[in-house]
Amino acid sequence: MLRRVVEKIDEISTLPHVALRVMEVANDPEAGAIDLKEVMESDTALSARVLQCVNSSAYAVRSQITNLQQAIAYLGMKQIRNLAMTISVSELFKENDSIGPYRRSELWRHLVAVGICSRMIAMRLKFTNFEDVFLAGLLHDVGIILEDQHLHDFFLEIIPSLKGDKTLATVEREHLGFDHMMLGEKVAQAWGFPEGVKAAIRHHHGSVDYRGAHVDIVRCVEVANLLCTLHEIPSVGMKLVRFSGPAIAGLSLTRNDVAILAEDLQGELDANANLFQA
């Protein structure tokens, strides 16, 4: 069943083609700012919204940035990529449907918050790939979006079945035979997502099982997922995330470090409020 669902989603291509091309170009070491600019200019609405975000108070530009070339020079290719992906993913949440405790708008808030928190953790730990960590956090629960959109009848059964004694993944496997992490990883692979993003999608509830080269990204997303859930920003309206002990230890975070991160989270979310409105 999983293979058939992935093939169906890949045919429909839920994310806009230009968003996937933006990700591809921004992650190509041989591509440059001009290549990214040309791809983005094919979607005037996306370009306009990116410029609007860049000129918001969050980025403190001294004078108005009026074109994509200036924006890319000011923020860099990966941050522009992240803005473009945030805006593109937000299009999937235009209809704010709800099922019991689940709200699409709250899942969107969770995705952005985990992206922001993941980047905050990576920056505190002085990781140089913090923009890649943001992208992984933003997309970690893409499988839930896909279930809601493409397996909606099953999703209508899954959400009411959540009682708090089982994780979302456990209930998904009971109804579908697979979970949102497995689905998300397969679709991410079909869409050409970066390896670190795919790893975070598949292992954000269990970095201890991941043995690849992007373990720091996966751990940051797992810890950010926990912190945002405890901060009353869960994915499906219930606090179902288990404590991320191995991920916290793997990042060499002390109990005090985690407490400070949790304390600083709201300020970080407020500073990046423009992303929630993308």
DSSP string, 76-97: -HHHHHHHHHHHHHHGGGSS--
Buried b (16+ CB within 10 A) or exposed e, 130-166: bbbbbbbbbbbbbbbbbbbbbbeebbeebbeebeeee
Give the domain extent around 177.
2-276
Q: Total domain count for the chain?
A: 1
Read off the tokens for 119: 């980047």
Say how far apart CA 252 and CA 42 lie, in whole Å. 44
Express each pLDDT in 167-223 by its tens digit: 999 999 999 999 999 999 999 999 999 999 999 999 999 999 999 999 999 999 999
Buried b (16+ CB within 10 A) or exposed e, 167-189: ebbebbeeebebbbbbbbbbbbe
Express each pLDDT in 41-84 by its tens digit: 999 999 999 999 999 888 888 889 999 999 999 999 999 999 99
Q: Tell me, what CATH number does 231's domain have? A: 1.10.3210.10
Q: What is the reported pLDDT for 183?
A: 97
Say how far apart CA 134 and CA 28 lie, in whole Å. 18
Summarize the confidence of residues 246-271 as an average pLDDT: 96
User: What's the pTM value of the predicted model, to 2 decimals?
Assistant: 0.94
